[in-house]
Structure 1
Amino acid sequence: MKAQILFTALVLQFSVSLQAQDPEVYRLRLDIPLFDYPQNLSLPGYFPSMNQSLEWSRDFYELGFYGIDALGNAIFRPGNNPGYQLRNISNHAFKYLSGLAFSRYASELPIPLGVWAHEEFHRTVLGEAGVPSKNGNWLFHRWDGTVYGIPDEMLEILKADEPDRLLNSYVAGVQYEVILNRRISTGDFYHHRSLAKNALLLYNAWYVHNYFRFSTSAASDSVKIIAPPHEDPDPALRDYAGADLTAWAADMFNPGLPYTETRDPFPNGEGVNRRVGFSDLSSEAQEYLVRQKRLSLLNFLNPAILFVNRIRLSPEFSFNLFTQYAPTHFGNDIALFVPLKIMDHNLLVNAHRYGNRSAAGYGIGLGVFDFRLSERMSADMEMDLWNQPASFWLNEKKAGGSLSIRPQFIISRAISGYIRLSGKTHGWQMGNPYLEKNLSVQLGMNINVGIPD
């Protein structure tokens, strides 16, 4: 065990040589979205929007890692002198292992962290479809990692009338972990951190893969039997999906069957048992879900998981690259992201393969971040183009795209405000609950705390 800790710390030390030295190292970077139109006016519960869930949870992780960073420095008192090497290694190891423990266990707390935001992503997609629900991992509701408040009849109507929205709601939860890793990886690439969130990247990649492992194993069948005696007799108070990924596969491979016909009756109670076991799926659905489990390993192909947040080729050019996999309502999205730092310019290039049952479409994207317009103003711009499958079964493609512009107004060295204007055509975009065209406006603020000069 000691050898493993020492190896981890040495890798951390080595990774510093691969990263560019920024003029400022940040201890804390908070993005606080305050208002999001139209979601804050149109969703059944108004707050939070999908982006608010994402950023608020990322802020709570930021605060947690900020505390771990400060605690490690207070305990080990690192320094730059040669005699401090053992202290520095111990400090790095302590911070990484503490960050990993925080990512694993604090994520389940009923506050804006991982499980809470995972459930909020479900809720936002459901809310956009007009289906109200409650977060079962919120301290003012209950603490069991569910989305509840939806009767069977409403789910049956949703599958009959809006099947893509139902499918999108199932997989929106794990999309949260994927897009959170994207935001962390690019953010820690562009801005050097005193403690990067490498441990959280590892945990989120593991979480998605482990969910697929559970869903493709006999454990999903066991939970289907074990869980109902502990669930509420009222169908509306049970988790709406059960196991997200087997529910997704069951309804995706049975588009013509009513919702209640793809579930067993609830034992000794009303309604249906919403949990779907792996053995309940057709052989084709089982094979497909197993392939998705393998593809989810792509989320581990991120150098930042191995502490390499930036690869520096020269003082003027740095890059990194990572792959991501996410299930979607039409199948999956496999993507490659390449963040670039060319002199003072922060860029992001990405390419996507959107696959359904038997065909694929493709997409590309470009982002420019922190582009300085004046001494008091900068801007972000992102553009994506795609040609996505119309559905899981149809090989017809639908072309579309999105554009986002975010001017940022610098109030002081630590505080800035922003307005974000974004629009999209028909199509799926991770982090956006709308499958149809949409125009959104967001207002928020940033708080950035650097290490004093």
Structure 2
Amino acid sequence: MKAGLLLLALIVTSYAEAAESPYGLTLQLPLYDSAAKQVSGFSPSLMQAHALTQDYYLGSHRLIAELFDSADSEMAHPLEGFALLAFDYVSGITPLGLSWLHEEAHRSVLNQYGIRSHNGVYDASLSDSSIPVDEVTDADLIRLKRDHPADFVRLSTAGMEAESQFALNLEKAEFFDRALPRQRFLILLSHLGPIGYRNFCDSRSGDEATREDLKREGPDELERDFTGYDCVSYVYDLFRPDEAYEARGPHPSGVGIARYRSRDDLTSTEKKYLHRMAIYSWVNLVDPFWFPVNSWQLGDYRWTATLRHHLTPFGHSFEQNIFVKPEDAREGGHLFIARQYTNDKATLPGFEWQCFRCQALGNGRALDLRSALWFQPKDLLYRSKHWKAGGYLALQLQQDIHDHARIFGEIMTKTRGWMADEINLNPATHLRLGVNLRVN
């Protein structure tokens, strides 16, 4: 973590003498989030983890562009492209990188219930085939499954969900905030990670890896990953919300519970569902942001659109994202998201509207708004027959305090329900405060 924070500091100081660019860089410093639960080690909230990872990549990409003297150019220097590819690949297993965000999303689910854990990225190397979230006790997993079955399913899906949302956040930065267009390979990586993961779980290789992991592990439960390969555990617990965690059986070492699931543990119906979710994952590649031309003009507006598929605590969700902004606008615009939530009994709709710099209040003040409405299963479980309306509202007030600095305060409130980048499934209200540093 110290190395990552040192790089962020280097990024900020390196721009003090940088020439002005038609592209901008906004570094988000979310200093306070009431959703953060300091349980063990460094435990940022999910929102803070997203912001730190976005800063890490956007700032590093801008720094690389400055080194190649191309920060004011839409196209990267030929050698810069190789540097970006190398950085995005290697940084995946560094603190603040994409794998770190994946594991912090898992930890955010655990943190909200006071469950200790450790992000294995801090101990990882490029040769590691998988990275654990460890130091979790069987007793805590038993309690979480018993008392919060929807959160227990979400625990398995949170990492893949965070990677997909990270791609969306990069796209919003480029489309609405003039971020330097250097994120194509990173956006593609953010999609290919969950796609590859879902398809690996739905394979013999995944089954064999699970069996080998169980055999290799010793009797210390704190050295084990909390769940093994996420997608199989997601399906297993999605279909078994009332099954006691202990029913997984004893660990081969004779100490503790066999946490990991493979397709051998699934029924034929569950295997088909896992296979269908693996197929649906390819929808996420319907995304023009990893192409050189990624938006189009229609009248006085510029627009683009993407598709997404998420795994949810109650099943899954398809969404259609439409980005719109005035052609002559330097910043701001609107993101419209239509969703279809599906469990075993029904498919019902949801809708979200995000407005960036949607209201200038004068004297350097501006307002951002985010709102959502949905119909989701009342208990957020797969076989629930009863659905309930819910919603979300967030207002963020920004105040310029310098040509390159803006403070912000955000208040958000939500009913019970799932949102891809809000960790609470239960009703929640949170206050967030921070600083945005702007480099032109």
Alignment-derived partner of residue 230 in structure 2: 244
Q: Which among 59, 77, 82 is matched to residue 63 of structure 1?
A: 59
Q: Which amino acid is the alignment partner of residue 285 of structure 2?
A: F
Q: CA deviation at 1:224?
A: 1.5
Alignment-derived partner of residue 355 in structure 2: 368
Seen in structure 2, the aligned counterparts of structure 1 residues 377 and 232 have a Cα distance that, compared at 3 Å, is farther
**Using the alignment, how far apart are the partners of 1:253 and 1:169 within structure 2?**
15
Q: Which moved more, 1:271-280 or 1:224-233?
A: 224-233
Seen in structure 2, the aligned counterparts of structure 1 residues 78 and 324 have a Cα distance that, compared at 3 Å, is closer
Aligned 1:375-414 pairs, distance under 5 A: 375-390=363-378, 391-414=381-404
Seen in structure 2, the aligned counterparts of structure 1 residues 348 and 79 have a Cα distance that, compared at 3 Å, is closer
Aligned 1:181-330 pairs, distance under 5 A: 181-262=167-248, 264-314=249-299, 316-330=300-314
Q: CA deviation at 1:370?
A: 1.5
Q: Which amino acid is the alignment partner of residue 113 of structure 2?
A: A
Q: Which amino acid is the alignment partner of residue 367 of structure 1?
A: Q
**Using the alignment, how far apart are the partners of 1:64 and 1:359 within structure 2?**
44
Q: Which amino acid is the alignment partner of residue 28 of structure 1?
A: L
How many equivalent residue pairs? 412
Alignment-derived partner of residue 138 in structure 1: 122
**Does the residue aligned with 1:429 lie in a helix, a strand or coil?**
coil
**Using the alignment, how far apart are the partners of 1:156 and 1:419 within structure 2?**
38
Q: Which among 30, 33, 45 is matched to residue 33 of structure 1?
A: 30
Q: CA deviation at 1:24?
A: 6.4
TM-score, scaled to structure 1: 0.85
1:104 and 2:101 correspond: no
1:126 and 2:110 correspond: yes
Alignment-derived partner of residue 431 in structure 1: 421
Seen in structure 2, the aligned counterparts of structure 1 residues 194 and 154 have a Cα distance that, compared at 3 Å, is closer
Task: Indicate if the aligned counterparts of 1:25 and 1:191 stay in contact, CA closer than 8 A.
Answer: no
**Using the alignment, how far apart are the partners of 1:78 and 1:33 within structure 2?**
26
**Using the alignment, how far apart are the partners of 2:165 and 2:23 within structure 1?**
22
Q: CA deviation at 1:46?
A: 7.6
Task: Indicate if the aligned counterparts of 1:406 and 1:419 stay in contact, CA closer than 8 A.
Answer: yes
**Using the alignment, how far apart are the partners of 1:29 and 1:362 within structure 2?**
33
Q: Which amino acid is the alignment partner of residue 367 of structure 2?
A: A
Seen in structure 2, the aligned counterparts of structure 1 residues 152 and 189 have a Cα distance that, compared at 3 Å, is same
Alignment-derived partner of residue 4 in structure 1: none
Q: Please list the CA deviations of residues 301-331 of structure 1 after superposition, one character each: whole Å capped at 9, or x if unmatched.
A: 11111133432234x3111111111101101
Task: Indicate if the aligned counterparts of 1:324 and 1:334 stay in contact, CA closer than 8 A.
Answer: yes
**Using the alignment, how far apart are the partners of 2:67 and 2:72 within structure 1?**
15
Aligned 1:311-350 pairs, distance under 5 A: 311-314=296-299, 316-342=300-326, 344=329, 346-350=333-337
**Using the alignment, how far apart are the partners of 2:72 and 2:350 within structure 1?**
47
Q: CA deviation at 1:414?
A: 1.5
Q: CA deviation at 1:258?
A: 1.6
Alignment-derived partner of residue 11 in structure 1: none
**Using the alignment, how far apart are the partners of 2:374 and 2:320 within structure 1?**
14
Seen in structure 2, the aligned counterparts of structure 1 residues 46 and 206 have a Cα distance that, compared at 3 Å, is closer
Q: Which amino acid is the alignment partner of residue 377 of structure 1?
A: R
**Using the alignment, how far apart are the partners of 1:292 and 1:202 within structure 2?**
19
Seen in structure 2, the aligned counterparts of structure 1 residues 72 and 249 have a Cα distance that, compared at 3 Å, is same
**Using the alignment, how far apart are the partners of 1:102 and 1:324 within structure 2?**
26
**Using the alignment, how far apart are the partners of 1:298 and 1:203 within structure 2?**
14
Structure 1 outlier segments of 4+, above 6 Å: 77-80
Task: Indicate if the aligned counterparts of 1:116 and 1:145 stay in contact, CA closer than 8 A.
Answer: no
**Does the residue aligned with 1:273 lie in a helix, a strand or coil?**
coil
Task: Indicate if the aligned counterparts of 2:37 and 2:114 stay in contact, CA closer than 8 A.
Answer: no
**Does the residue aligned with 2:120 lie in a helix, a strand or coil?**
strand
**Using the alignment, how far apart are the partners of 1:206 and 1:269 within structure 2?**
37
**Using the alignment, how far apart are the partners of 2:23 and 2:131 within structure 1?**
33
**Does the residue aligned with 1:171 lie in a helix, a strand or coil?**
helix
Percent sequence identity is 26
**Using the alignment, how far apart are the partners of 1:361 and 1:206 within structure 2?**
28
Q: Which among 336, 351, 366 is matched to residue 338 of structure 2?
A: 351
Task: Indicate if the aligned counterparts of 1:26 and 1:448 stay in contact, CA closer than 8 A.
Answer: no
Alignment-derived partner of residue 20 in structure 1: none
CA-based RMSD of the aligned residues comes to: 2.4
Q: CA deviation at 1:269?
A: 4.0
**Using the alignment, how far apart are the partners of 1:346 and 1:158 within structure 2?**
40
Seen in structure 2, the aligned counterparts of structure 1 residues 192 and 311 have a Cα distance that, compared at 3 Å, is farther
1:416 and 2:406 correspond: yes
Q: CA deviation at 1:40?
A: 4.4
Seen in structure 2, the aligned counterparts of structure 1 residues 123 and 324 have a Cα distance that, compared at 3 Å, is same
| Gapped regions of structure 2 (runs ≥ 5) | 1-19
Task: Indicate if the aligned counterparts of 2:280 and 2:309 stay in contact, CA closer than 8 A.
Answer: yes
| Gapped regions of structure 1 (runs ≥ 5) | 1-22, 81-87
Q: CA deviation at 1:238?
A: 0.8
Alignment-derived partner of residue 14 in structure 2: none
Task: Indicate if the aligned counterparts of 1:69 and 1:195 stay in contact, CA closer than 8 A.
Answer: no
TM-score, scaled to structure 2: 0.87
Q: CA deviation at 1:212?
A: 0.4
Task: Indicate if the aligned counterparts of 1:361 and 1:389 stay in contact, CA closer than 8 A.
Answer: no
Q: CA deviation at 1:402?
A: 0.5
